A and B are shown apart, each in its own frame.
Chain A
């Protein structure tokens, strides 16, 4: 990388990261997004708001999450030491809750009695239903019909939490269609509804505020690395669907030139097959869901259906800041396919007694390749963004086991 930009100065006032990001929505939503951006601008440095957020993270989510040295696995791989940032230990079992806590606080400040969300794997839906239950907000979650089928446990969790799960049957029946439907709901009910977007995509200011809420991951990991390993890590690895867990880990390290970063996309059946969910690896810039970013699209600009064993990565776009970091060369974007992810899922479970989410297993699959190329005195921090309980039925089905 030739010249390092001031990463903290992005996005600009209208949400741009270079040519990426922005605010591409129908006019009806512009006012609501301007209001949200203004409210966030006012609150983000407000000591009371910060204190409320930090309090909830500590006492409700259970932060800080541990940085765990996977000693046995590292030894087995024979290279760098692998540290796991244990977001799987958060309340509700994934990093998603860091963001829903923050957005729920914003919803409260804006006086909105109803929240909606889109969800893929169901982790963001559960995290939204959870904060809605706690604050007594009405909650509806849009979820692709195919994801409703493969994530039955999370669907039921959301229902228990008092949320209504609305299956979306249009298009590919996955995360992108759920996001379309949530946008349609929001445009209709914009006066009383707060849309809690689950990732660092969508129109400005969402990529900004979701990133800021998730940065707690990287801030903690930075401090913990210094304390536990005595130095900054040599490499960071995180899976990238929309990319909120990855940006949360990476962002606080962007100015540390010696920290290499790897964002791992879902290669599905393999990049060469075209059946994957890796826009940064094999897509091109376009506009979808309110922002300009790398997309999986055909020559006519129609969005292509994606494929991944992991519902949470099954998305044809990616957060605009990742698109920008790719073009700048600050982060390396790589991929792991379904088989590699499943194999890493099994390996971590057996070797460390930690069952990762299939999303996080993509990051582990890459770390497994990376570690042996490094020396034992080097350190890798992998974001273990969620726990794998929700994926047991998927893995069992692959093993041919029925319940």
Chain B
């Protein structure tokens, strides 16, 4: 069984929900990322979404745009990101790692070489925010061959017909974008999210992670009550931005946020 599937199965048996932190690889420096990944797992993370930096992150707000700029300023490449995952796997063979980013850096490497290298590094899934399933017909079989899950987004604006399509195209989990906007936007409406997640459950078979607008233990808890997983990104990346020269402080601050979320979600 693939790592993501067994992760959600294990959590379901324990009646717990997945805590899924996002950080941009190489932000603020290449050496920070792997220790940070381990620290996040120790603080309660179940799956890690690792951002592959891109020069033009159209779907992201200012917090993650700046994270991309910091990571690219010292040349974090897709190969560097894969090397980080490989190093992470030396100590952690259980926690799924999903690469999140944009299509162009993947196209630049070529689908086959990317998929092969990602799989060998120990990556479990990819989420490309500018790749809707209609445009993924070519890449999907390549990812399948290398046992990489393709995680697709579902939005507040997604029609029922599209939810069905996306449910069939994806594997691992679905990422429900809780609001119309970019990452790091204002607050989400939990009742609205609950209603949408219910709709998605009726139309698709995959576990549902919810992201965008989750900032603290309270919002993580509320969203975890109505979904299978909670994605938190900008709130963590803010801590990196605040401590650009202090990896210790980054690990502590991010671990504290995740530990508080974990506690609230398991409560």
Q: Does A229 contact B (CB under 8 A)?
A: no
Q: How many residues of A contact B (CB 8 A)?
A: 37
Q: Does B13 contact A (CB under 8 A)?
A: no
Mark interface residues in A12-56 (1 if CB within 8 Å of B CB, else 0). 001000000011111111111000000000000000000000000
Q: Does A295 contact B (CB under 8 A)?
A: yes
Q: Does A286 contact B (CB under 8 A)?
A: yes
Contact of B180 among A22, A187, A289, A299 (CB under 8 A): A187
Beta-carbon contact of A26 and B59 below 8 Å = yes
Q: How many residues of B contact A (CB 8 A)?
A: 43
Beta-carbon contact of A171 and B56 below 8 Å = yes
Beta-carbon contact of B56 and A176 below 8 Å = yes
Q: Does A271 contact B (CB under 8 A)?
A: no
Contact of A27 among B72, B77, B78, B155 (CB under 8 A): B155
Bound state CA distance, A32 and B103, in angstroms? Answer: 21
Instruction: Please indicate the chain A residues that have their CB under 8 angstroms from the CB of B102 in the complex.
Output: 287
Bound state CA distance, A187 and B152, in angstroms? Answer: 17
Instruction: Please indicate the chain B residues that have their CB under 8 angstroms from the CB of A286 in the complex.
Output: 104, 107-108
Task: State which residues 79-130 of B face A: CB under 8 Å.
Answer: 102-109, 129-130
A188-B182, A301-B104 known; A26 and B72 CB under 8 Å? no
Task: State which residues 291-309 of A face B: CB under 8 Å.
Answer: 295, 297, 299-303
Q: Does A239 contact B (CB under 8 A)?
A: no
Q: How far is the CB of A18 from chain B (nearest CB, A)?
A: 14
Q: Does A247 contact B (CB under 8 A)?
A: no
Beta-carbon contact of A191 and B180 below 8 Å = yes
Beta-carbon contact of A287 and B58 below 8 Å = no
Stretch of B157-165, B235-243, B247-255, B256-264 at the chain-chain interface: B157-165
Contact of B58 among A22, A31, A180, A301 (CB under 8 A): A180
Contact of B77 among A26, A28, A300 (CB under 8 A): A300
Beta-carbon contact of A288 and B104 below 8 Å = yes
Beta-carbon contact of B129 and A26 below 8 Å = yes
Q: Does A349 contact B (CB under 8 A)?
A: no
Q: Does B153 contact A (CB under 8 A)?
A: yes
Bound state CA distance, A279 and B92, in angstroms? Answer: 43
Beta-carbon contact of B135 and A23 below 8 Å = yes
Q: How far is the CB of A9 from chain B (nearest CB, A)?
A: 19
Q: How far is the CB of B65 from chain A (nearest CB, A)?
A: 6
Bound state CA distance, A28 and B211, in angstroms? Answer: 13
Bound state CA distance, A160 and B177, in angstroms? Answer: 38
Instruction: Please indicate the chain B residues that have their CB under 8 angstroms from the CB of A28 in the complex.
Output: 153, 155-157, 177, 180-181
Bound state CA distance, A190 and B180, in angstroms? Answer: 8
A23-B132, A27-B154 known; A184 and B182 CB under 8 Å? yes
Q: Does B54 contact A (CB under 8 A)?
A: yes
Instruction: Please indicate the chain B residues that have their CB under 8 angstroms from the CB of A287 in the complex.
Output: 102-104, 107, 130
Q: Does A78 contact B (CB under 8 A)?
A: no
Q: Does A270 contact B (CB under 8 A)?
A: no
A28-B180, A188-B185, A302-B105 known; A288 and B56 CB under 8 Å? yes
Q: Does B61 contact A (CB under 8 A)?
A: yes
Bound state CA distance, A329 and B57, in angstroms? Answer: 33
Bound state CA distance, A187 and B153, in angstroms? Answer: 14
Instruction: Please indicate the chain A residues that have their CB under 8 angstroms from the CB of B56 in the complex.
Output: 171, 176-177, 180, 288-289, 303
Closest to A30 in B: B132
A170-B65, A287-B130 known; A31 and B159 CB under 8 Å? yes
Q: Does B246 contact A (CB under 8 A)?
A: no
Q: How far is the CB of B131 from chain A (nearest CB, A)?
A: 6
Task: State which residues 152-193 of B face A: CB under 8 Å.
Answer: 152-159, 162, 166, 177, 180-182, 185
A28-B180, A31-B159, A188-B180 known; A300 and B108 CB under 8 Å? yes
Q: How far is the CB of B185 from chain A (nearest CB, A)?
A: 7
Beta-carbon contact of A26 and B130 below 8 Å = yes
Q: Does B199 contact A (CB under 8 A)?
A: no
Q: How far is the CB of B135 from chain A (nearest CB, A)?
A: 5
Q: Most chain-B CB neighbours within 10 Å: which of A22, A25, A31, A287?
A: A287
Mark interface residues in A167-199 (1 if CB within 8 Å of B CB, else 0). 000110000110010011001111100000000
Q: Does A290 contact B (CB under 8 A)?
A: yes
Beta-carbon contact of B108 and A31 below 8 Å = no
Bound state CA distance, A28 and B154, in angstroms? Answer: 8
Q: Most chain-A CB neighbours within 10 Å: which of B57, B69, B134, B158?
A: B134
The 7 A-B pairs of least Cβ separation, nearest first, read: A301-B108, A301-B105, A28-B155, A27-B153, A188-B181, A31-B157, A26-B59
User: Can you add 20 more A-B contacts, CB < 8 Å, to A189-B180, A287-B104?
Assistant: A24-B130, A24-B132, A26-B58, A26-B177, A27-B152, A27-B154, A27-B158, A28-B153, A28-B155, A30-B157, A30-B158, A171-B55, A184-B182, A187-B59, A187-B180, A187-B181, A188-B182, A287-B103, A297-B108, A303-B56
Residues of A at the B interface (CB closer than 8 Å) are 14, 22-32, 170-171, 176-177, 180, 183-184, 187-191, 285-290, 295, 297, 299-303
